Structure 1
Amino acid sequence: MKSTGIFSTINSVEAFKAYIQSYGDKAYGMFFFIQFMSVIIAPIPSNISAVVGGNVFGLWQSFFISLLAIISGSVVVFILARKLGKPFTEKFVSPKISEKYEKLISSKRGELLVGILFLLPFLPDDAIGFLVGLSTMRLGRYFMIMILTRPWEILAASALGSSNIIIPWWGWGIIAILVLYVVKNGSRLENKFVSAFKEG
């Protein structure tokens, strides 16, 4: 991926869009590959690339390609983590995240936790597949949780990119404030969430 030059486009939506379009007839496959790999190495947030996908391919094509790629990537991560164990997951998941979530995911309320992690924006959803693979959760259960929770943010991002959602200037202002709040307070919100979940 580094040799393709994709990492130089991460900081610019327009550059990322031009990068995908440069593949011509192979753009669909490249977009799938980017979304698939984002689950594993996560250099580009899959929601951001889904916005670009919506702009390039339209709402539904971006949505279905992104959903298929992200679900497939998550299943592959789960299987690899289950087969190769903790030495493998430690290459991709920071000790801080592992320490915080590994025991919770393996608890009786682990399935609920995973569902919430996929729904809330300030939580490390892409790292979860590795830790779920280490737990006792069955792949079928994990797959159902993903089908119920992951489509919504992907659909919203794809719709935003395709301009099917028209947002007034004040709406963008609210979104910007929310994004800045989450970025600034993400760690604190995450710690509160984990503490509440443990206490509950």
Structure 2
Amino acid sequence: MGSLKELEVVLPDDVPAELPEVDLVEAEQEAASSPRARAFLTWSKRIAIAGWVVLAGLVIWGIQSGVLSSVSQLRAFLSDFGPAAPVIYSLIGASEAIFPVVPGSASIIAAPILFGPVVGFFAAYAATCLGSIAVFFLSRDVGQELLLARFKPATVERYLGWLEHRHFTRWFAIAIALPVAPDDLLCYLAGLSKMRPRTFIIIILLLKPWALLLYVFGVLALLERWIPWLAG
């Protein structure tokens, strides 16, 4: 998941002139008056705070116990849990798309470090696909007010008009295959579009692995190149 500015390179120059203007002020007022949007924000903040407390506790425990002294020690600890460890990771990673505690890219980057390249890739793939699909259906169920509650107004204003573009599905598919795309925002937008659920799921399942492969092997290459002592 990259910056929003980087995503702009895949968008054609002539599109903005075709897009309708979005009355963002009216949309924000609608979101602010939505009980479901307010409930989402409330629970999102509560879960984020609880997540940070739990994460801080785990880091302190890991340092004191020696589990975090190296990658090999951490992997050995996780291996004691068997298949349950990557499954739990995938579920937690998927929930990050809805209730972010840490940036989604951080959880994806952690997968190959925690489980190695093969298991790490499939754990990250499962987390990304589950989270994206959950966001799509949540956005479709709650509506535009959820998008406004989740992202900054300037971000929404920049991208909301794309929902009316006739090639939205095509550009969504291209962006999803790129490692720099803001996945969560794109999936929220897709939930508000006319895209069929089956089309969305196929795009996610078939195109997301390529960006994840770059993440997984890129992280391992950087780890080996710059901090090889950590892997020992």
Does the alignment reach a TM-score above 0.5?
A: yes
Superposition deviation, residue 122 in structure 1: 4.2
Deviation per residue, 1:154-191 (Å, 9 max, x gap): 1222233455x99868xxxxxxxxxxxxxxxxxxxxxx
Give deviations 1:110-166, integer Å, cap 9, x for gaps: 012212322344442221111111111111111122123211121222233455x99
Please tell me whether residue 128 in structure 1 is matched to residue 186 in structure 2: yes
The amino acid of 2:211's aligned partner reads E
Question: Is 1:27 aligned to 2:85, yes or no?
Answer: yes
SS in 1 for 2:96: helix
The 1:166/1:74 distance shift into structure 2, 3 A limit, reads: closer
SS at match of 1:150: helix
**Aligned Cα root-mean-square deviation (Å):** 3.2
- Aligned twin of 1:61: 119
Rg larger for: 2
User: Which of 113, 127, 148 in structure 2 is aligned with 1:90?
Assistant: 148
Instruction: Work out the percentage of aligned pairs sharing the same amino acid.
Output: 23
Q: Which of 26, 34, 55 matches 1:5? A: 55
Provide the residue aligned with 1:157 in structure 2.
215
User: Matches of 2:106 and 2:212 in 1, distance apart?
Assistant: 9
- Cα deviation, 1:30-84, whole Å, max 9, x if unaligned, reads 4213321232244434443333221221112111111111111111111111111
Distance 1:3 1:155, change over 3 A: same
Q: How many residues align?
A: 163
The match for 2:102 is 44
Counterpart check, 1:138 vs 2:196: yes
- Structure number with the bigger relative contact order (C-alpha 8 A, sep ≥ 6) is 2
Unaligned runs of 5+ in 2: 1-50, 60-67, 227-232
The ranges of structure 1 where at least 4 consecutive aligned residues each deviate by more than 4 angstroms after the TM superposition are 6-9, 17-24, 165-169
Is this contact kept in 2: 1:78–1:133, CA < 8 A? yes
**Letter matched to residue 142 of structure 2:** L
Distance 1:51 1:29, change over 3 A: same
Aligned to 1:193: none
Normalised by the length of structure 1, the TM-score is 0.66
Match of 1:148 among 195, 206, 212: 206
Contact 1:47–1:153 (CA under 8 A) maintained in structure 2: no
